[in-house]
Structure 1
Amino acid sequence: MTQPFSLQPLLNIMQERTDEATRKLGQLLAAEQNEKSRLQMLEQYRAEYAARMNDATSQGVTRMVLRNYQEFLARIDDAISAQRQAVQSSENNTRAGQEAWKTQNKQLKALDTLSQRHDIRQRYREGKQEQKLQDEFSTHKYSGKEPQDT
């Protein structure tokens, strides 16, 4: 009779936790990519706006228009700075998520290895028992006796 793996409930829990860590890591990676895309968009917008300001100043503008361009560029620079911090924070969260996933995965693999070893031992025992029954059957078949159930 096959004995169930005594740590199977724990293995199931670890599998669920690893699945959750994998899902969370996917979300963190997506969030990081989103933050990086926003930063890239802001930097591109700033470059375009700075080019417009250069074009306008080369054609001659009033001090008020130039000051408006400069103030708006300063606000864009502030937004870029804030977005860089958001990217850094997101990268830190992703690294933490990767470490959590690695830890969970390592624990799951350890339990899975124990489960596989248990299965191998069970198959070995069953094979041994089956061989014993076959040997008994063969011995009794040739001796003319019926095998007894044990």
Structure 2
Amino acid sequence: MSPSKRLKPVQRVAHSREQVAARNLGISRKVLQEQQNKLEQLRHYHQDYLQRFEQAARNGIAAAQMQEYRAFIAKLDEAIRRQESVVAASQSEHTAKKSHWREKHSRTQALNKAIDRYQIAESKNEARSEQKESDELSQRLGREE
């Protein structure tokens, strides 16, 4: 069996592993985007709530209401910090998945190139062999005449 044919099963496995890594990368990209969107929504809500608080403070509010606003803003601040941690973890996971995919992609590409080189060499060898047979046949036919 030729080297290129022996490498075909390895190439299929490598390609399959690359596809799995690509799917996992896509999933991690989606998760990261969702987490970033949640963080952006929290920040936007925080900003809106601060504006409402400032407006209410200008119009005059009771001390109890002011404490409620401040307590809620503190909770929003904490939620934002937690979400920033989630985003950072998602970013790290996405970076790891991307690195893993690149590794699998490189392996697949290397196998593809190796198989291509083997196939080119095999084709050249086959062409030389055919040419040699043709030359030998021509010589035999030339002697018989």
TM-score by length of 2: 0.90
Match of 2:35 in 1: 35
> 2 CA distance for matches of 1:61 and 1:5?
81
Letter in 2 for 1:82: R
Q: CA RMSD in A?
A: 1.7
> Which moved further from structure 2: 67-76 or 101-110?
101-110
Match of 2:77 in 1: 77
> Which moved further from structure 2: 45-54 or 72-81?
72-81
Letter in 2 for 1:20: V
Match of 1:89 in 2: 89
- Post-superposition shift, 1:112? 1.7
The reply on whether 1:47 has 2:47 as its aligned counterpart is yes
> 2 CA distance for matches of 1:138 and 1:49?
94
5+ residue gaps, structure 2: none
Q: Of the two structures, which has the highest relative contact order with CA contacts closer than 8 Å and spacing of 6 or more? A: 2
Q: How many residues align?
A: 144
Deviations 1:96-127 (A, max 9, x none): 11111121122222222221111011101111
Letter in 2 for 1:62: A
Letter in 1 for 2:17: R
TM-score by length of 1: 0.87
Match of 1:107 in 2: 107
Matches within 5 A, 1:1-150: 3=2, 4-143=4-143
Is the Cα–Cα contact under 8 Å of residues 5 and 118 in structure 1 kept in the other structure?
Answer: no
> 2 CA distance for matches of 1:73 and 1:141?
99
SS where residue 61 of structure 1 aligns?
A: coil
SS where residue 5 of structure 2 aligns?
A: coil
Is the Cα–Cα contact under 8 Å of residues 32 and 87 in structure 1 kept in the other structure?
Answer: yes
Is the Cα–Cα contact under 8 Å of residues 18 and 101 in structure 1 kept in the other structure?
Answer: yes
> 1 CA distance for matches of 2:78 and 2:38?
14
> Which moved further from structure 2: 2-11 or 65-74?
2-11
